[in-house]
Structure 1
């Protein structure tokens, strides 16, 4: 979008923390509203030339809201990307998905805040040098589905440095679910990404740290998905544990060896129509009803079964059979930021980075972020369907889809993203 060697960049933060009493989203097992605030819920925007990257501390965003923000902001909408960090300790944010319960008034404020953050970042653009590289791979993420499953430990980092040496922004990405905090937590929080940002900003006063959650659909810090279908507390899922994970990642970000990149700033995007299958387990309705009615069932599981029953009445056998998936690439002076919707599995990020890096050379830096410009559900690789499990067989009910995405959907996104990045 700009062929000049001088790159201009700016950044801004807008606090969108709702008050206590807000409905939280991320766990069907969490029955009550937010009882307070542990750390702020924010909108963070970084503008590089006429592109913008926005990260919001929520579990997901609807594609319609993302498109509206892009149209309303002062930049060309083809260069605007709206990302959800996917914290499971944030306010409900996706109408009709992930438990619903969205406050329409707050959601309108969130939309305005995204526009405001982009506009403020654009106003603050100054000439910068683009420094980028990879932090040391840290052992924070685990494959939550199987011990021998793939994990993406890559930690790409971009630092935008003004002429006076001050950092305007630091952008980083890691592929791990922000679910250190469990369903028992009722304090609003950005989870471990908030810790990473706080520590990076402390090292670079005045900068805006922006964290992108990578392809984390099958990755967390080491617990099974079933561990979230309960309100029972866990010693491994506390604010202290989130602090420890954040400290580990922040140290690697701050020690990353970054090199200067130069070149134009460009943006491109495409849409891939993904087919939606029918639910493979809809014949389990009687068992869902039995569990929901049994007083001995764990309250978290009871809540989940009620979600499944509601889905069976409203959506099963109905709904769209196709979803248009937005795929985008931002090229910041040779640093490629690939954005995908939904919850892609870790292998997707590994495949895209490998394909793009082979062509771009050893100094190339490629970020691959999920949860961007819409969050309709999980995107497993084709080989994962044989293993079954929540992400493949059940999660579409919480997302309000008639069924999971067809096998091969993830590979189609890899193909589209790789073609865009290489071009």
Structure 2
């Protein structure tokens, strides 16, 4: 069931995400069907979404594509038999924003025979990957200054490949009978980026995705969610899909034009090679203030080490899996229309966009803010969603949420196993 848009008072992004989780995690869990007679089926799909040479990376903020270290994928599930089909998709991109996110969900919905409100699309948030906003691209093109964040024809090609993959997957859907959950502590990856605080509580220096500052490295990990969570789906005794969730920025090093799914994608691909009969998906949790900086110097060797440790956690989380018969399934959504941060005005951002003296990134970012301001003025909502299966919740949040929201979501539903994916729309 989809609620009416929630028109909030003027709130910061942190405030409205916090309020969203308070509402979303407290939703009831009515069963659409229950018992052994559910007749559920699960289809899995994947499509290559690797950008071509010369395509912008991270929205045009960094060096464009020069080479491909490993390919990017969009991987998803289609759940059949619980009302209209439900689609969940993880994408090896930095982000998919505004109209691009709406179009992606609509394309998957059309292919699966459902509505966009029953589709969740979450990015993993690697940076040597596309960061897509079609409205921003239109603004940039109007400047006639060679600025770009995405090639629209490439974006449409990706949607066409995805639709083809979904349509091909549906006839091969397997009976879905059981679900299992597991968790494992991840060693030496996540650390909080905002640990160097001054007397006024403000961040003095941020510990980023990679760090070589010995003083920052020596600081504690800070607040993190140390657990990698896994939700697995079974057809009888056979595990046919596994969704893995962990909160950290997914970059070891980036910015040289070499496309990569980075250490989360590499760990996922390794697990996929080990279990070819099970489709593995990876979701980045609420990692806005979380990265690997304490344990990552940005070297190629560090990428290998991070991949190894994350893969070990994936395997460990699956060791605890104990399949339980599926008895209850439901899908819930909640629409949010936040207010614009008063620190940003359309006029000021347009001036930054149009200033030829600004570096490209310092023109593209304001263009993205303009499209956000225009979206909110048009009251186009962000759709949060959650899949509830027995005592498990797969929660889909927007934007670059901080880890506090993920931790609070679990506290709001202590009797449930809550697996949170961020980096949706917004």
Q: Residue 177 of structure 1 corresponds to which residue in structure 2?
A: 249
- TM-score computed with the length of structure 1 as normaliser: 0.72
Say if 1:123 and 1:81 are closer, same or farther in 2 by CA, change over 3 A. Answer: farther
For structure 1, list consecutive stretches of 5 or more residues without a partner in the other structure: 225-234, 294-300, 377-423
Q: Residue 402 of structure 1 corresponds to which residue in structure 2?
A: none
Say if 1:283 and 1:51 are closer, same or farther in 2 by CA, change over 3 A. Answer: closer
- TM-score computed with the length of structure 2 as normaliser: 0.71
The yes-or-no answer on 1:243 pairing with 2:314 is no
Counterparts of 1:69 and 1:111, CA distance in 2: 6
User: Cα deviation per residue 1:113-163 (whole Å; 9 max; x = unaligned)?
Assistant: 333333344332212432212122433111112257531222110222333
Q: Residue 395 of structure 2 corresponds to which residue in structure 1?
A: 338
Instruction: List aligned pairs for 1:119-158, cutoff 5 A.
Output: 119-128=167-176, 129-146=178-195, 149-158=222-231
Kindly tell me the number of residue pairs found equivalent between the two proteins: 344
For structure 2, list consecutive stretches of 5 or more residues without a partner in the other structure: 1-31, 138-146, 197-219
The yes-or-no answer on 1:348 pairing with 2:397 is no
Query: For structure 1, which segment, 92-101 or 149-158, has the greater mean C-alpha deviation from structure 2 after superposition?
Result: 92-101
Q: Residue 24 of structure 2 corresponds to which residue in structure 1?
A: none
Instruction: List aligned pairs for 1:4-403, cutoff 5 A.
Output: 4-5=35-36, 7-25=40-58, 28=61, 30=62, 32-49=63-80, 50-62=85-97, 63-77=101-115, 78-97=117-136, 100-128=148-176, 129-146=178-195, 149-163=222-236, 165-183=237-255, 185-222=256-293, 236-256=297-317, 257-261=320-324, 262-279=326-343, 302-307=359-364, 320-321=376-377, 324-356=381-413, 358=414, 360=415, 364-372=416-424, 374=425, 376=426
Query: For structure 1, which segment, 148-157 or 102-111, has the greater mean C-alpha deviation from structure 2 after superposition?
Result: 148-157
**Does the Cα contact within 8 Å between 1:265 and 1:333 map onto a contact in 2?**
yes
Counterparts of 2:129 and 2:406, CA distance in 1: 25
Q: Residue 382 of structure 1 corresponds to which residue in structure 2?
A: none
User: Cα deviation per residue 1:61-118 (whole Å; 9 max; x = unaligned)?
Assistant: 1332234224413242243211111111113422245985211111011222333333
Instruction: List aligned pairs for 1:400-415, cutoff 5 A.
Output: none
Counterparts of 2:366 and 2:87, CA distance in 1: 40
User: Cα deviation per residue 1:28-53 (whole Å; 9 max; x = unaligned)?
Assistant: 2x2x3201111111111112333221
User: Cα deviation per residue 1:299-346 (whole Å; 9 max; x = unaligned)?
Assistant: xx955445467789x789977456622111112343210111111110
State the Cα RMSD in Å. Answer: 3.3
Q: Which has the higher contact order (CA 8 A, sep 6+)?
A: 2
